[in-house]
């Protein structure tokens, strides 16, 4: 047992019946949100700030703490201070879901977090000037019980009451009840990513669900890198990334991304892309080479579609291209084959 006190004592009888005795999980498939363009206020929903970081599931089984990304990559060495903070908690059998973030001028910044994402040595990570924080928003396992069948409101109440958030590195993800429209307006005014709307009575399911919805302040999504162009003028590394998304088994061309890079990023991207170069385009449309050529008609270097980039943009054009795209960072926490074009479904 995690403690002599019953952590479920305050749950109503019907919620206690939904608890399932279970061994400590090796893994839990994360619940994913669906993009929507409809904003709403509803007392049946909770609304949380959308964070611009790296999804992280944390597991503690006795003295052992594991941090895992969405693709099950171990993050213990990348965020050792988070692992240390979880190891100090008085609870020793739990699994939680959350987001690791770094801040830049008061806003969560994936670009700044990138300086930590490439680090796997814990001592080097501890020396990094980039401070990170783990915002925990869900409880999946506690004290020998699977909690995923509980309603979200019950899981969050258990999370807040059972885990201690006194450590600087650990943060409880607060929410607003009912009024998602007001929170969304405030989020966009403050330069946040947006809002996640969550149905308050919904269980936690390991897939994309309409019970979690994304309200985004600006357009942006992950895209697969399928090629790059040579730099021109004083540019170093590369000129632009050639990106796309999967539609079934086909990689569909979405355009080129030529802004948002630092010089260090350009050099690092070129190093990684050179190792992936291949003679044939990975895109469905074999004529994409003409559309993707660089300045002066320079040919594209094709690469195996393994890298995933976070890209911000203003909108999709009518012919399926990105308008005003900008590079935000590479995402090592998402498989290339899972990248599809995000488009809001009709209604809610």
Q: Which residues are marked as active site?
A: 50
Contacts of 208 (CB under 8 A, 6+ apart): 31, 32, 33, 34
- State whether residue 194 is helix, strand or coil: strand
Q: Indicate left, alpha or beta for 200 from its phi (over 0: left) and psi (-120 to 50: alpha).
A: alpha
Scanning the chain, the segments in alpha helix (DSSP H) are: 13-18, 80-87, 110-117, 122-127, 152-162, 180-189, 263-274, 288-291
Please report which helix (H) or strand (E) contains residue 28, including its range.
Answer: none
CB 89 within 8 A of CB 232: no
CB 116 within 8 A of CB 130: yes
- How far, in Å, CA of 335 to CA of 307, rounded? 8
Contacts of 257 (CB under 8 A, 6+ apart): 223, 240, 241, 243, 309, 311, 322, 325, 326, 327
First to last CA, the chain: 41
For CA atoms 316, 317, 318, 319, give the dihedral sign. Answer: negative
Strand runs labelled E in 229-288: 241-247, 250-257
List, as one string, the DSSP characters of 81-93.
Answer: HHHHHHHTSS--E
Contacts of 147 (CB under 8 A, 6+ apart): 19, 139, 140, 141, 155, 158, 204
């Amino acid at each position: 047992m995690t403690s002599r006190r019953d952590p479920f004592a305050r749950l109503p009888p019907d919620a206690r019946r939904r608890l399932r005795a279970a061994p400590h999980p090796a893994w839990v498939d994360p619940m994913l949100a669906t993009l929507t363009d409809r904003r709403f206020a509803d007392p049946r929903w909770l609304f949380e700030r959308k964070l611009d970081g790296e999804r992280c599931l944390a597991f503690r089984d006795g003295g052992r703490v594991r941090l895992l990304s969405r693709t099950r990559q171990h993050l213990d060495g990348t965020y050792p201070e988070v692992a240390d903070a979880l190891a100090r908690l008085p609870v020793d059998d739990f699994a939680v879901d959350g987001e690791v973030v770094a801040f830049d001028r008061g806003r969560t910044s994936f670009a700044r977090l990138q300086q930590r994402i490439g680090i796997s040595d814990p001592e080097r990570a501890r020396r990094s000037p980039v401070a990170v924080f783990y915002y925990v928003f869900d409880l999946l396992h506690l004290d020998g019980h699977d909690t995923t069948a509980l309603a979200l409101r019950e899981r969050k109440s258990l999370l807040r009451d059972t885990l201690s958030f006194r450590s600087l590195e650990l943060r409880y993800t607060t929410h607003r009840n009912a009024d998602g429209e007001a929170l969304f307006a405030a989020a966009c005014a403050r330069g946040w990513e947006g809002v996640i709307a969550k149905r308050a009575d919904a269980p936690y399911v390991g897939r994309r669900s309409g019970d979690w919805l994304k309200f985004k302040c600006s357009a942006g999504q992950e895209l697969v890198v399928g090629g790059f162009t040579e730099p021109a003028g004083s540019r170093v590394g590369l000129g632009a990334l050639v990106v796309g998304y999967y539609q079934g088994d086909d990689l569909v061309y979405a355009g080129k991304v030529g802004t948002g890079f630092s010089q260090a990023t350009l050099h690092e991207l070129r190093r990684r892309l050179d190792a992936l170069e291949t003679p044939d385009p990975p895109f469905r449309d074999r004529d994409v080479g003409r559309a993707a050529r660089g300045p002066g008609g320079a040919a594209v270097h094709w690469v195996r579609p393994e890298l995933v980039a976070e890209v911000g943009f203003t909108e999709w054009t009518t012919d399926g291209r990105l308008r005003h795209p900008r590079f935000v960072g590479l995402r090592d926490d998402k498989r290339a084959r899972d990248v599809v074009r995000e488009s809001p479904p009709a209604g809610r």
